[in-house]
Structure 1
């Protein structure tokens, strides 16, 4: 039995942090290493153009994202990773499927609605700052999914709408030509795995409470020491289940390590000691990947080779699919 195709898109928006790693990278790679799915990964550089208009910055973001996934365990010999802009056929698909997408569907897209709401709250014109890339990017995302005949698309629960839009567009096309040319993908929601940040809120760059993923050991330890704690003295027993430090520790430690630290909490532990234990497990988790990441970022030609190879592997099948679609719609 052939494997199902799983598609993951990664938008290059800057250096990743531990929240990205726990919430997206680690679970996606666990899935990639399963025997059930054939994993396809792409770096969505065209999607970044909706907000990133600095070429040097975008180029660096692309390398950072690619290096992160490769360093954390994505094996290009077993899965395929490519750069979206190196499969130019997606833009032909984009125009074709745009002609089967209603404006009303785009009006309901979450990202656009959120932008409009923010403008209204600030008393601005509702479309101020909205470019057509932002408005229509769900169509391009649908094309990214549909050109691979993807069976499943693992996404966060807040991104499920994009898969639903893909299905709507595919259905509109298939219905018009009375031909099941586009496969209807299924969204696979990742249940809210949320790593808390330094202040206890969700780890996010927008809150400035994040921990960059590939800090060197000295900077990582210094950042971990900034985690919010109370003024309870070291000798006082502490409840591990009421501790932000312990909440973070559980994401990186095995059951034995958790039990040992929990017992130390109950005997009495200093916050500096607790944070040091957290630093050790975080550093152990990411140490090998950090070395690989630095190697890739120092040898970017290796990343280029892998991305080019991924695009070259996929393009012949996509070109044949596009030819079939164009025959159906009546263009040459």
Structure 2
């Protein structure tokens, strides 16, 4: 591998099927950007646009989402001098490795994948005679593509949610199988990293903030829209002057995710002293708006200069391929697909 091999290799894929919201920022983007600035870590961050095709066949949506997400991460301070930031689709070695791994991966392993089992269960519940109705090979085999993403750069640590641990275990299985069949230590076995401290923000209706629930607050909406959304956050019917419980309040949770410890403690006292919901919502809006104003301006400037984003991603792809291309040559040789001379 390259000179970065003395660093811990950490890899994160970024889904490109929607607009980033506050929950994405707190749960994934903020800790990832902090890691990108750590000189002891070689971070790989990629726009998972090949994965996006599994869920979306709307080219305009996929294209716009890639642009918005790249602009978001750059606007929020991703260190692209240290981290390698690229589009998955710009690394042709990844789909090639996906095929190689498919040829050593047991179908039975894919039968146990959560997404596939959920699709089959939905068909069964709906009374479908064909339990694979609507299941594409992309959905069925996407853990193999995910394994290729990880193994191409021999990532040692892969930050994931609990629902993704299975896929890291599958990647380990495929890596071990390839190493065994072709008699070499080609792949490092990756480890899932689940940070229990990562906060899951509530949305407008109190449920987990998720595009699936249509209850999100997009990161870079206008001030006017942000105020409107904050005022829509569900609260209880307690009157001003009545003590309120911050620990069960989505509004407080969102504030605390952005505020300092001292600011959070002050807000907690105001809850105990019976702050009115209107006052609390205005304060949360003002705080969020102040925190997001400069990144929002950078984000808008980036969207207006897609050529700059393209240059950043191409430079990242060049750095990624500088590792992927020679490694792929080594893997081809191992599998008997090397050149004759």
TM-score normalised according to structure 2 size: 0.94
1:284-321 per-residue CA deviation (whole Å, 9 max, x = no partner) reads 23222111111111111111111111111221321111
Equivalent residue for 1:24?
A: 28
Does 245-254 or 209-218 show the bigger shift? Answer: 245-254
Query: What is residue 251 of structure 1 aligned with on the other side?
Result: 257
Query: Of the candidates 77, 84, 103, which is equivalent to residue 80 of structure 1?
Result: 84
How far did residue 217 of structure 1 move?
1.1
C-alpha deviation, 1:329, in angstroms: 1.1
Q: 2-side partners of 1:223 and 1:327: how far apart? A: 56
Write out aligned runs for 1:104-143 (5 A).
104-124=108-128, 125-143=130-148
Deviation at 1:263, TM superposition (A): 2.3
CA distance in 2, matches of 1:173, 1:13: 32
Q: How big is the shift at 1:108?
A: 0.7
Distance 1:79 1:234 in 2: 48
Confirm or deny: 8 A CA contact 1:50 1:133 kept in the other structure: yes
Paired residue total:
332
Cα-to-partner distance string for 1:202-230 (whole Å, 9 max, x where unaligned)? 11111121111111111101100011122
Residue equivalent to 1:168: 173
Aligned pair in 2 of structure 1 residues 129, 267: CA closer, same or farther (>3 Å)? Answer: same
SS in 2 for 1:251: helix
**What pairs with 1:18-97 in structure 2 (closer than 5 Å)?**
18-97=22-101
State the distance in 2 between where 1:244 and 1:53 align.
34
RMSD of aligned residue pairs (Cα, Å): 1.4
Find 2:301's aligned residue among 291, 295, 300: 295
Provide structure 2 residue ranges, at least 5 long, that are not aligned to the other structure: none
Q: How far apart are the structure 2 equivalents of 1:261 and 1:276? A: 13
- Aligned partner of 2:188 in structure 1 is 183
SS in 2 for 1:82: strand
Q: Give distance in 2, aligned partners of 1:166 and 1:242.
A: 38
Task: Mark the CA change 1:42 to 1:244 in structure 2 (over 3 Å): closer, same or farther.
Answer: closer
Q: State the distance in 2 between where 1:266 and 1:189 align.
A: 33
Paired position in structure 1 for 2:329: 323
The equivalent of 1:159 in structure 2 is 164
Q: TM-score, normalised by structure 1?
A: 0.96
Classify the secondary structure of the residue corresponding to 1:257: helix
